[in-house]
Amino acid sequence: EALIFGHALEGNLHFVFTQDFGSHQEILRYQGLMEEVCSMVVSEFQGSLKAEHGTGRNMAPFVELEWGSDAYALMWEIKRLLDPRNLLNPGVILNQDHAIHLKHLKPLPAADALVDKCIECGFCEAVCPSRDLTLTPRQRIISWREINRLQADASDAGRLHHLLRDFSYQGVDTCAADGLCALRCPVGIDTGRLVKQIRQQGQGAVAQRTAGWISRNFTTLERLTRSGLRMVGAAQDLLGDRNMGRISRTVRRLSGNRLPLWTPVMPRAATKLNIMQHPQRDGSNRRVVYFPSCVSRTLAPDKRAPYQDPLHQRIQSLLAKAGFAVVFPAPVEGLCCGMPLASKGLPMQADESLSQLEQRLWDATGEGLHPVLCDTSPCTLRMIEGISKPLKFYEPAGFISEYLLPHLKLVRQRESVALHITCSSRKMGLEQTLLKLAKLCAREVFIPEEKGCCGFAGDKGFTLPELNAAALSKLRSQLPEGCDQGVSNSRTCEIGLSEHSGIPYQSIVYLMDECCASAEPS
């Protein structure tokens, strides 16, 4: 693959081609091309090798051919007079090694079709939550390329062993797989997809069977999780935060960091879903299917949160103010979009969960007649990307903006709030929607400078707390004095945000319900 362009009237031509430096044969082929092109341009056509661009390492061996031995010797004499220690651009313009353009080449071996287009520009790095902890997307791709090169040529088994060992934590475990890197990448590479694929390859038979059991018995898992959270909450009340934290750190250390880390913002167990009866307003066709995610059905606000009532209760309250009748997929307990399994490299079992949810939502919406509201942004994106039936999905901010605002009126405003825009919200293009709602309910809205992922990544905030801490290391200092509440649209993200900001973060639904009333007569 190659192309030629330039300014033909001036005799100026550029050519670009995709050269493979992955083998010795290809390097020799490249050497022959360069020698033939330079000889043709200089000797046959008496032309210049650099019509408008400077000399770099690739052209340094051919400067003498282009200018002649006398001029080349003069260049070296001037260079030695002005730069006797060869500190300025050493070897870049003048180089006595006539093979320098063939040395220290950066091979780009094929590693996986998902990332082979990467040119290692690094645009992705600024939004990666692990950039200050382990690797960035660019570095993950480079490492994976080197691993694949070593596996292909079997040239250095020791180096390969060390790379695979280190990549397990630095490349795979600490990747949030949020996909924000794809938004920054010029060619849309989602390094998280590669990481999830690698995780899938590492899942053995036991993990596959366990995931299958979870997919088929999610109701049981929900109940066990709530029971566990109730016991942890009781222990917190009995022991206090300081003792609880000390015990948790000790137990985690003794387990080899296998057990999750408890923090004072650990959620309490959610109460049973309370389905409130709110029929739609007379003469209206306002109806929505509300799917409370497994996260909101399981995790209640933490002990310090200003709003202690369940999220599903606040959502139903806001919907009632706008005159919407609410339909739940029946039964809702046990339904999951499969994201927890998908992120761990278990796509088959994740898709089983999603397929079951898809059918329940299809039935509840009257085969797509009514929109679906999910209270958790990442789950909403998972359904949008994975469900094939013609259903309209919304997370809270999008649904409030499109459906509820015309039927609500503002009755109060908070002084200030901090807003966290989740990765999934950015991928769905909801930045301005979230900002609009926050500005409606608060006189001042602060968006911390961090443009990337918070690093909580589902459960990684519990199992790899260092990732969340690294991603949010600057958050507390970025919040202005007096800002005492944060809002977002993902319960798990809000856990880490609350811990590392020092202020409680809760769903934007709480803020909207507090500040708005019905705009219509009851």
Indicate the CATH number for domain 287-402: 3.40.50
Q: What is the DSSP string of 99-138?
A: TGGGSS--------TTTTT-----GGGGG-TTTTTS--HH
What's the pLDDT score for residue 469? Answer: 96
Domain 408-518 indexed as CATH 3.40.630? no
In this structure, what token pair is assigned to residue 382? Answer: 């998972």
Query: What does each C-alpha distance from 21 to 18, 33, 250, 430 come to in angstroms?
Result: 10, 13, 51, 42
Q: How many residues are present in the chain?
A: 522
Task: Quick: pLDDT tens for 188-232.
Answer: 999 999 999 999 999 999 999 999 999 999 999 999 999 999 999
CA-wise closest residue to 120 among 193, 187, 62: 187
| Element spanning 140, H or E | helix 137-153
Check residues 304 and 135 and name the one with the higher pLDDT: 135
Contact 327, 276 (CB under 8 A): no
Round to whole Å and give the CA distance between 185 and 14. Answer: 26
Round to whole Å and give the CA distance between 336 and 356. Answer: 8
Q: What is the mean pLDDT of the chain?
A: 93
Query: What does each C-alpha distance from 131 to 120, 127, 257 come to in angstroms?
Result: 15, 8, 22
For residue 127, pLDDT over 70 is answered with yes
Which residue is associated with the tokens 């490299």?
A: 345
What's the pLDDT score for residue 520? Answer: 82
Residue 109 binned pLDDT confidence (cut-offs 50, 70, 90): confident
Round to whole Å and give the CA distance between 500 and 475. Answer: 7
Beta bridge partners of 299: 269
Round to whole Å and give the CA distance between 489 and 466. Answer: 23
Task: Quick: pLDDT tens for 311-336.
Answer: 999 999 999 999 999 999 989 999 99
Residue 522 binned pLDDT confidence (cut-offs 50, 70, 90): low
Upstream peptide bond of 331 is cis (omega within 30 degrees of 0): yes
In this structure, what token pair is assigned to residue 449? Answer: 């400078």
In percent, the amount of the chain with pLDDT more than 70 equals 98
Task: Quick: pLDDT tens for 352-397.
Answer: 999 999 999 999 999 999 999 999 999 999 999 999 999 999 999 9
Residue 21 binned pLDDT confidence (cut-offs 50, 70, 90): confident
Average pLDDT over residues 77-101: 94
In this structure, what token pair is assigned to residue 305? Answer: 């949160």
Residue type, 194: L
Contact 391, 329 (CB under 8 A): no
CA-wise closest residue to 484 among 496, 501, 499, 472: 501
In this structure, what token pair is assigned to residue 261? Answer: 């880390």
Q: How many CA atoms lie within 13 A of 270 on its CB side?
A: 22
For residue 280, pLDDT over 70 is answered with no
In this structure, what token pair is assigned to residue 183? Answer: 């938004």
Contact 289, 361 (CB under 8 A): yes
Contacts of 48 (CB under 8 A, 6+ apart): 41, 66
Contact 136, 127 (CB under 8 A): no
Q: What residue ranges do the domains of the chain occupy? A: 2-102, 123-201, 287-402, 408-518
Residue 279 binned pLDDT confidence (cut-offs 50, 70, 90): low
Task: Quick: pLDDT tens for 44-77.
Answer: 999 888 867 778 888 999 999 999 999 999 999 9
Round to whole Å and give the CA distance between 170 and 131. Answer: 10
What's the pLDDT score for residue 147? Answer: 96
pTM: 0.86
Average pLDDT over residues 272-288: 75
What's the pLDDT score for residue 197? Answer: 97
Q: What is the DSSP string of 309-347?
A: S-HHHHHHHHHHHTT-EEE--SS-TT---SHHHHHTT-H
Average pLDDT over residues 429-456: 92
Contacts of 452 (CB under 8 A, 6+ apart): 126, 127, 128, 129, 131, 180, 471
What's the pLDDT score for residue 281? Answer: 64
Which residue is associated with the tokens 């309209």?
A: 392
What's the pLDDT score for residue 12? Answer: 82
Contacts of 21 (CB under 8 A, 6+ apart): 27, 30, 105, 106, 107, 108
Round to whole Å and give the CA distance between 50 and 56. Answer: 10
Residue 1 binned pLDDT confidence (cut-offs 50, 70, 90): low
Task: Quick: pLDDT tens for 31-47.
Answer: 999 999 999 999 999 98
Residue type, 274: N
What's the pLDDT score for residue 61? Answer: 94
Of 275-279, 343-347, 450-454, which range is least confident? 275-279
What's the pLDDT score for residue 82? Answer: 96
Average pLDDT over residues 294-318: 94
Check residues 451 and 152 and name the one with the higher pLDDT: 152
Contact 424, 492 (CB under 8 A): no
Task: Quick: pLDDT tens for 135-183.
Answer: 999 999 999 999 999 998 888 999 999 999 999 999 999 999 999 999 9
Residue 449 binned pLDDT confidence (cut-offs 50, 70, 90): confident
Contact 322, 404 (CB under 8 A): yes
Same fold for the pair 287-402 and 408-518: yes
Contact 102, 30 (CB under 8 A): yes
